[in-house]
């Protein structure tokens, strides 16, 4: 059973008019079918239905000869039977019969050497609009000759029968790496499409092409120096990579080959909660005609979106082509990165605002993927809570995190790249006592790292985390650089630093079997400071 066989059968069900529709046609269909409303800016506002976010517990991978020994099985990558998949796939295709469906051919990966052609079949025009924005759009003269490498079938109205189909509940997303088919059912959340292909690339690029796949943003300076930014939600990844002095390569997903870094996508999928022109001018400006805003609500008796209204979900989103942003690199490809930034919002106030990592420490912090939730963000959280996500995107990595960390270390050494740990969180104490690091200081530290100023200063070693802290940085008060110096009670700092180190080590224990000794030795060492 090959993917082209599946897509041929689906094409037989699709009317000619619903293949690769242009922007105006997609908007027309979406409004006519009741899938959305046009906003004051010309964007389409649509709802994703019951699911307003991904459902990670309902994501599966077919277990077969290709994946059995390579996939990192567990809570993240749950195995699914080949026979069950084939039977469910057949039912999904039959579900399309008699329905108006939409078919779109797109690409993933801006570097032509690694380009993946994807045929996406959706039940709704708004899903198709999302695909139009988020993937790389072929030229019109290419469409007739595209042979898809992968096929995605997205069917929000199809509900699985768990006892029969082998799923956990009625919704599901399942990847078959051998057949190169990805099926989504029971959920209209468009992010499942985006992150499904990201998961595919996180397997195929490292395994087949020796390319490191990364959940990160990237930009390039006037002198051709590239930088990569890793970070979980709330750490400043989007804000800091959107630098007016540098061109944006991409804001979320990239590959690092022996020759380049390149964007996987052709668009951006940004959060819009409390969006304003003042705070996020680039995103605000990008939501023009044809952009897709999801699960938002309007001011009364108007077509103006109220981005403060989170009555549906706090995960309100917008999707738009990357070309809606002014300062971008075209094509979305850059040279080997000179600097890599791991961003964390450390609410414990322990980590330095900037520190330099050895390759082994980089591997350790890359696998850890640390940030912290602050008190009050969720019910029951009264003090900072450490959050870890391997490789800054654990939900999307099919291989053991150690594989990606080893590749990162290799790329670093090949290109003599610097890796920096940036704390955009708290200083002078934990959340509730200290204060958030000022953006102007973080910007100054990034600038100093990017322009080489930190190549010529002295460093001191953190006694617990072992990272190297610069003793001076232009436009940053010297006393801010070493976090211990910012605390009134140094003993309290020592206690909190040891506490955070223990949390790191406890989290890392589950990765130890697939990690090199050098990375294991880079773990923080709890100690008593004087």
Does 295 map to a domain?
A: no
Do the Cβ atoms of 522 and 512 come closer than 8 Å?
no
Q: How far apart are CA 268 and CA 282, in angstroms?
A: 11
Q: E strands along 313-417, which residues?
A: 317-321, 333-334, 337-344, 354-357, 370-373, 385-388
Check residue 4 and give its pLDDT. 55
Q: 238 an active-site residue?
A: yes
Active-site residue (options: 52, 54, 427, 468): 54
Q: 91 an active-site residue?
A: no
Does 466 map to a domain?
A: yes
370-373 vs 418-423, strand pairing mode = unpaired
The number of domains in the chain is 2
Do the Cβ atoms of 192 and 184 come closer than 8 Å?
yes
Check residue 407 and give its pLDDT. 95
Active-site residue (options: 35, 176, 243, 252): 252
Check residue 526 and give its pLDDT. 85
Q: 251 an active-site residue?
A: no
Q: What is the mean pLDDT of residues 221-240?
A: 92
Q: Is 178 exposed, middle or buried (0-12, 13-18, 19+ CB in 10 A)?
A: middle
- Domain boundary (210, 236, 270) is at 210
Max intra-chain CA distance, the chain:
75
Quick check: 2 pLDDT over 70? no
Check residue 379 and give its pLDDT. 46
Q: Write a three-state SS string for 174-207.
A: EEECCCCEEEEECCCCCHHHHHHHHHHHHHHHHH
Q: 237 an active-site residue?
A: yes
Active-site residue (options: 95, 132, 215, 356): 215
Active-site residue (options: 132, 195, 247, 411): 195
The tokens describing 293, both together, are 């805003």
Does 193 map to a domain?
A: yes
Active-site residue (options: 52, 199, 238, 260): 238
Q: 317 an active-site residue?
A: yes
Q: 484 an active-site residue?
A: no
Q: 168 an active-site residue?
A: no
Does 249 map to a domain?
A: no
Domain that holds residue 448: 336-520
Confidence of residue 9 (pLDDT cuts 50, 70, 90): low
The tokens describing 454, both together, are 């930190």
Q: How far apart are CA 218 and CA 237, in angstroms?
A: 9
Percent of the chain with pLDDT over 70: 94
Quick check: 98 pLDDT over 90? no
DSSP 476: B
Does 470 map to a domain?
A: yes
Confidence of residue 239 (pLDDT cuts 50, 70, 90): confident
Do the Cβ atoms of 366 and 230 come closer than 8 Å?
yes
Q: 252 an active-site residue?
A: yes
Active-site residue (options: 157, 233, 435, 471): 233
Check residue 238 and give its pLDDT. 84
Do the Cβ atoms of 262 and 252 come closer than 8 Å?
no
Does 318 map to a domain?
A: no
Q: How far apart are CA 506 and CA 494, in angstroms?
A: 18
The CATH number covering residue 119 comes to: 3.40.449.10
Does 24 map to a domain?
A: yes
The CATH number covering residue 401 comes to: 3.90.228.20
Does 240 map to a domain?
A: no
The tokens describing 71, both together, are 């996939």
- Domain boundary (210, 243, 277) is at 210
Q: What is the mean pLDDT of residues 12-36?
A: 85
- Domain boundary (191, 210, 229) is at 210
Q: What is the mean pLDDT of residues 148-171?
A: 96
Active-site residue (options: 132, 194, 317, 462): 317
């Amino acid at each position: 059973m090959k993917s082209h066989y599946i897509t041929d059968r689906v094409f037989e069900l699709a009317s000619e008019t619903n293949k690769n529709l242009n922007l105006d046609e997609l908007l027309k269909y979406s409004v006519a079918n009741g899938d959305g409303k046009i906003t004051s800016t010309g964007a389409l506002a649509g709802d994703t239905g019951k699911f307003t976010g991904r459902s990670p517990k309902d994501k599966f991978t077919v277990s077969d000869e290709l994946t059995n020994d390579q996939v990192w099985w567990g809570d993240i990558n749950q195995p699914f039977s080949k026979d069950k998949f084939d039977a469910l796939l057949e039912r999904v295709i039959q579900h399309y019969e008699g329905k108006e469906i939409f078919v779109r051919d797109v690409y993933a990966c801006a570097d032509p050497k690694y380009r993946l052609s994807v045929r996406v079949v959706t039940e709704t025009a708004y899903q198709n609009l999302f695909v139009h924005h988020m993937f790389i759009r072929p030229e019109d003269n290419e469409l007739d000759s595209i042979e898809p490498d992968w096929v995605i079938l997205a069917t929000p109205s199809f509900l699985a029968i768990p006892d029969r189909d082998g799923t956990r509940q009625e919704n599901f997303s399942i990847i078959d790496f051998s057949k190169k088919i990805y099926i989504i059912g029971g959920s209209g959340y468009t992010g499942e499409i985006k992150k499904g292909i990201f998961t595919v690339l996180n397997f195929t690029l490292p395994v087949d092409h020796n390319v490191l796949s990364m959940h990160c943003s990237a930009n390039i300076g006037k002198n051709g120096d590239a930088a990569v930014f890793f970070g979980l939600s709330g750490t400043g990844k989007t804000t800091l990579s959107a630098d007016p002095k540098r061109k944006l390569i991409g804001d979320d997903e990239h590959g690092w080959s022996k020759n380049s870094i390149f964007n996987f996508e052709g668009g951006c999928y940004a959060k819009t909660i409390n969006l304003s022109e003042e705070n996020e001018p680039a995103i605000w400006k990008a939501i023009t005609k044809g952009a897709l805003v999801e699960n938002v609500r309007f001011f009364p008796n108007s077509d103006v979106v109220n981005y403060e209204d989170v009555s549906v979900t706090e995960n309100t989103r917008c999707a738009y082509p990357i070309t809606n942003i002014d300062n971008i690199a075209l094509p979305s490809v850059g040279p080997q990165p000179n600097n890599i930034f791991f961003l964390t919002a450390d609410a414990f106030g322990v980590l330095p605002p900037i520190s330099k990592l050895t390759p082994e420490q980089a591997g350790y912090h890359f696998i850890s993927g640390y940030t912290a939730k602050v008190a009050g963000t969720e019910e029951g959280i009264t003090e900072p809570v450490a959050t870890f996500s391997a490789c800054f995107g654990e939900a999307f990595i099919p291989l053991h995190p150690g594989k990606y960390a080893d590749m990162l270390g290799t790329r670093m050494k090949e290109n003599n790249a610097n890796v920096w740990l940036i704390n955009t969180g708290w200083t002078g104490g934990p959340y509730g006592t200290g204060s958030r690091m000022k953006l102007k200081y973080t910007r100054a530290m990034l600038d100093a790292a990017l322009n080489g100023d930190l190549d010529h200063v002295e460093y001191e070693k953190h006694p617990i985390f072992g990272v190297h802290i610069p003793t001076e940085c232009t436009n940053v008060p010297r006393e801010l650089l070493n976090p211990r110096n910012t605390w009134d009670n140094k003993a309290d700092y020592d206690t909190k630093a040891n506490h955070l180190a223990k949390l790191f080590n406890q989290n890392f224990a589950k990765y130890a079997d697939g990690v090199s000794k050098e990375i294991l030795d880079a773990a923080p060492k709890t100690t008593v400071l004087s």
